[in-house]
Amino acid sequence: MSLYARIAGTGGYLPEKVLTNQQIADSGVDTSDEWIMERTGIRQRCIAAEDETASSMGEQAAQQALAAANIAPEDLDLIIVATSAPDRIFPSTACLLQQRLGVRRCAAFDVQAACSGFVYALSIADQYIRAGGAQRVLVVGSEINSRLVDWTDRGTCILFGDGAGAMVLEASSAPGLLSTHIHSDGQFADLLYLPNPINGKNGCELPHIQMQGNEVFKVAVNTLGQIVDETLAANNLDQADIDWLVPHQANIRIIAATARKLKMPMERVVLTIEKQGNTSSASIPLAFNEAVRDGRIQRGQTVLLEAFGSGFAWGSALVRY
Ligand code: COA
């Protein structure tokens, strides 16, 4: 009997505060709502409150996912958190989330793969479940990008937002995750990165995201096209077999290029970018959760998840929901 990782429940959390493009322009950044909307598809993003952290937001999303899965936190075998904004450098945000969930002993660790973090974490969870090393795994993506950008840099501050998304996976004899695919290429490490202040001359200065946006854009479009082909070929499927595309939400033009590659109308693509911006590793579970809860994604349907980000690291997962 094959073992699959089945998505038993999903959850999402967005901070209350909303920041619109217009508010960014009004704050003195040389940009406009029209430019941002046309070049990125983003209209607004959510901003975490001062007392919120990756683990506190992750807990909200995780509790929802656990409730939907009807699984108690103490029944988890493994907690994996994808984040680029950990509460502390150590211990892992996953350990802090474990503490918040009031459970002990199950393994907990973080994955750092920037915007592809959730797909990476999902892939690891899938391997554990298929190998019989875990029965129930909580996978969370939680990000506070608003603390990582320079709010005077119009090339980056307009893009990002905060939020958390979660999935609970459980071992099942029926699919489940059909396949996951992850790759990286460190040759591109300088095109998109966040410096670590412990290595800088000014140890106390807060680091900001550094990005060559149009270079990132070009590689993202090409690479995502390739991962779509790889995923379909690995499963002997063609474009028409995919019911929904749930992409990482970085730029509407990158998403549209992937949808074209799949010959998929935009109505079959789950989009959150206009209201949430790029929430890095939280974007896929947030979008998936939204489409499950509003009834778009139905049990039995085939869903393609894909992400690309700093590293570069990229990946996909094909899901029979
Ligand atoms: N408002 C107004 N003008 C802006 C601007 C802003 N927020 N940001 C850049 N510009 C200007 C540039 O200064 C440049 O002006 P110039 O021609 O006078 O020099 C012009 O717009 C074009 O800049 P460019 O960087 O080529 O724009 P673009 O169409 O590539 O859009 C991004 C910029 C950042 C939106 C786009 O490159 C992008 O989304 N890249 C991918 C980034 C990404 O997804 N990163 C995360 C990966 S997970």
Spatial separation of the C-alpha atoms in residues 302 and 99, rounded to whole Å: 35
| Residue 213 alpha carbon to ligand 1 centre in Å | 6
Q: What is the mean pLDDT of the chain?
A: 96
Q: Are 170 and 182 in the same domain?
A: no
13 and 162 fall within a common domain: yes
C-beta 214 within 6 A of ligand 1: yes
* Residue 162 belongs to domain spanning: 4-174
Total structural domains within the chain: 2
- 27: domain CATH number? 3.40.47.10
Ligand 1 near 155 CB (within 6 A): yes
The residue among 154, 174, 194 that closes a domain is 174
Tokens of 243: 């019911």
Q: Are residues 158 and 190 in the same domain?
A: no
- Do 210 and 104 have their domain in common? no
N residues, the chain: 321
| pLDDT score recorded for residue 105 | 94
Would you state the pLDDT for residue 267?
97
**Residue found under tokens 């929904």:** 244
- Residue 2's pLDDT is what? 73
Residues 71 and 111 in one domain: yes
Which of 31, 32, 251 for a ligand 1 pocket mutation test, highest count of atoms within 8 Å of Cβ?
A: 251
- Pocket flag, ligand 1, residue 284 (CB < 6 Å): no
Tell me, yes or no, whether 169 and 84 share the same domain. Answer: yes
Same domain flag for 27 and 167: yes
Nearest protein CA to atom 12 of ligand 1, as residue: 155
Are 122 and 250 in a shared domain? no
> pLDDT per residue over 187-201, tens digit each?
999 999 999 888 766
Q: Looking at the structure, do residues 151 and 42 belong to the same domain, yes or no?
A: yes
Which residue matches tokens 């969870």?
A: 125
Same domain, 129 and 221: no
Q: Are residues 218 and 301 in the same domain?
A: yes
In 3-state terms, what secondary structure has residue 314? strand
Which pLDDT belongs to residue 199? 77
Long-range pairs for 209-217 at CB < 8 Å and ≥24 separation?
Answer: 209/145, 209/148, 209/149, 209/150, 209/156, 209/160, 211/155, 211/156, 213/155, 213/156, 215/191, 216/191, 216/192, 217/251, 217/253, 217/254
pLDDT per 10-residue tile (average), the chain, 321 residues: 91 98 97 98 98 98 98 98 97 98 97 98 98 97 98 97 98 96 98 88 75 96 95 96 97 96 95 98 98 98 98 98 97
Per annotation, catalytic residue among 46, 95, 106, 115: 115
Task: Show the 3-state SS of 263-295.
Answer: CCCHHHECCCHHHHCECHHHHHHHHHHHHHHCC
User: How high is the pLDDT of residue 203?
Assistant: 55
Cis peptide before 141 (omega within 30 of 0): no
